[in-house]
Amino acid sequence: MLLTNLAKSCFSNLRNVSGRGQALSAATTRLQHSQTEQQHPVPSTRPETSGAKSLMDIGTRRIFNEDHDLFRQSVRRFFQEEVVPHHKEWEKAGQVSREVWEKAGEQGLLGVMTPEEHGGIGGDLFSAAITWEEQMYSNCSGPGFALHSDIVMPYVINYGSKEQIKRFVPKLTAGTCIAAIAMTEPGAGSDLQGVRTYAKRDGSDWILNGNKVFITNGWMADLVVVVTVTNREAKTAAHGISLFLVEDGMKGFQKGRKLEKIGLKAQDTAELFFEDVRLPASALLGELNKGFYYLMNELPQERLVIADMAIASCEFMFEETRNYVLQRKAFGKTIAHLQTVQHKLAELKTDICVGRSFVDNCLQLHAERRLDPSTASMAKFWASDLQNKVATQCLQLHGGWGYMWEYPIAKAFVDSRIQPIYGGTNEIMKELIARTIVSQK
């Protein structure tokens, strides 16, 4: 409870920060603001990562303030005390414990942007980003907190009915209800218009049939947002897709095996099967046949989450490698004395700092509700590609030890490989970006 109270205290001044950019933009047009204030804004004294002692230092980056720093300290402590000591055990089990979900909820780390009346701490986007980044700094990919909080929960909060919000959101922020979103199917991945899962109306109810695959949090999920076709006669597939809330335990809803992956060993990823699942009308999320529109609205934030976590992973891998080369000896001195190693570290740090600058700009844009889908796609594909480049080169600098599972860089290496694939493959990201370049409109 101490950390919860600290978090709420930190956010007493942050609840409306996400609209700060718009407010400032409007304010500059007001006559009461002096010409001096407009021409000479107070500069931030916070160092950027390029000038910090460590890429993971607290107190850096102009998008944050001191309240964010206090929150980051509490989040960092949570991952070090409640996640890191148990992660090896969870890797063997293929899932984390329910206890860690509930502890995260108690500390206010789930649904950070959720208002207090729904059980959240009323934080802003930057506060949520701190939870994403600190998970990557801990090098523990098991807990699916980011997907639960900042990919799934927004669908319920933004499109759910008052009854749905009242029923589910407090439990989601408390960690007593784990959420997943079921988009991908065996024959439909990045192409969401290829979905075949179908819900047929039966009186006031719906009968759901189909199956989903590669569902993060799927094995432990208590609530699943299911993407399904509800109108096969629609003029386009996009006009016939809806979202439903499916609860664990519903007759006909079954979870397949936990999928064995090359990375993300502690993250439960599962197949889901729906066989004549009867859903009440109240299970429809939002309006009928508006599901694709909702997905397009929310996907930029999903891709921003992936991008920010990718850069944070790069920062972790760089610092892990820097520490290693400063200790590892060869030819009578540490390998950090070798010019080829020094130049490689210089290249890596430059790439990471460039990426961090761009992603921080995207965070600022999104906090001001100005992040467009194309820019989000740029961030996702570029940052996740960089993550894999950094993972490969940092492992190389570890030599044979980097190939050993006991070394953190090995886990970071295999975990990075999925990043260019989920959330829409990077090939699709380039396609989306290209459309805005060649469009005649």
Which residues are part of the catalytic machinery?
302
Region of residue 116 (phi > 0: left; psi between -120 and 50: alpha; otherwise: beta): alpha
C-beta atoms surrounding 70 within 10 Å: 16
Cα gap 256→210, rounded to integer Å: 13
Cα gap 274→66, rounded to integer Å: 48
DSSP one-letter code for 97: -
**CB–CB of 171/183 below 8 Å?**
no
**Residue 330 in 3-state DSSP?**
strand
Residues ≥6 apart with Cβ < 8 Å to 327: 334
Region of residue 242 (phi > 0: left; psi between -120 and 50: alpha; otherwise: beta): beta
Length of the chain: 441
* Strand 241-247 to 269-279 pairing: unpaired
Cα gap 358→307, rounded to integer Å: 10
C-beta atoms surrounding 163 within 10 Å: 9
**CB–CB of 285/245 below 8 Å?**
yes
Write the DSSP assignment of 194-258 as a string of letters: G---EEEEETTEEEEEEEEEEEETTTT-SEEEEEEES-TTSSSGGGGEEEEEEETT-TTEEEEEE
User: Between vectors from CA 93 to CA 88 and to CA 97, what angle results, nearest 5°?
Assistant: 85
End-to-end CA separation in angstroms for the chain: 54
